Homo-oligomer: A and B are copies of this chain.
Amino acid sequence: MRDRRAERRESTRAEILDAAWEQVREHGLAALSLRDVARSVGMQPPSLYSYFDSKNAIYDAMYAQGARECVEAQQALKPLPDDQLEALKALLHFFVEFCAADFARYQLLFQRTIPGFEPSPESFKISEDNLAEIGEMLARSGVTDPGSLDLLTALGTGLADQQISNDPGGDRWIRLIDEAVEMFYEHITKKAKKPSKGRRTR
């Protein structure tokens, strides 16, 4: 049975990634040490290279893993409430809470923290597809024009960033999500009514 081998290999890979996540959650994303990872799975450092081509390959696998977790968490949202306002609230809650749940993962997925590391096209595609789907969800919730989409994105990332940076474990910014979405929703509905293109204000 050749599968036995592949299976064992895959499980060792997973073990290594688990150890890496633990490391990274403990000491910071950029502080990942191959030697410590190796030690914690009972190997010598060079042995890791049978499973990953480099340290960045490990980061890449972690990125893909994190992105897949994001997809899963997002699937759990479906079906979205019919009410557009509620749907938006649900989406933003999902995003902020996903980010706040794991700082290292947040950094890996959404910040350019590690010099020399960029997710591989395959890994990045997971995020990209996910983003596209969120875009569709938003479109179905009435957010169509690019500007509004950017604005909502900024609002979401801002809430997530503040939450995880300044109140990890708390809910200071999470509590603001509903209010923020209401503000945003009122704004775009008003904008839709009077599409005064040439801005006259001031």
Contacts and interface: CB of A to CB of B under 8 A. Distances in A.
Interface residues of A, number: 41
Contact of A187 (B31, B115, B183): B183
Nearest to A184: B183
Contact of A158 (B158, B182, B183): B158
A40 interface: no
A144 interface: no
Task: Please tell me how many copies of the chain the complex holds.
Answer: 2
A146 B87 CA distance: 26
A179 interface: yes
B111 A111 contact: yes
A155 B179 CA distance: 13
B30 A113 contact: yes
A31 B157 contact: no
A103 B112 CA distance: 10
Nearest to A202: B86
Interface in A173-188: 173, 175-176, 179-180, 182-184, 186-187
Given A115-B31, A187-B186, A154 B155 contact: yes
Contact of A162 (B31, B112, B114, B157): B157
Interface string A20-53: 0000000111110000000000000000000000
30 contacts: A27-B115, A28-B114, A30-B30, A30-B114, A30-B115, A31-B116, A86-B202, A103-B112, A107-B111, A110-B165, A111-B113, A147-B175, A147-B176, A147-B179, A151-B180, A151-B183, A154-B155, A154-B158, A154-B159, A154-B161, A154-B162, A154-B173, A154-B176, A154-B180, A155-B155, A157-B157, A157-B162, A161-B161, A183-B183, A183-B187
Instruction: Rank and list the top 7 A-B pairs by shortest CB-CB distance, nearest first.
Output: A158-B158, A28-B115, A154-B158, A31-B115, A183-B187, A154-B159, A157-B158
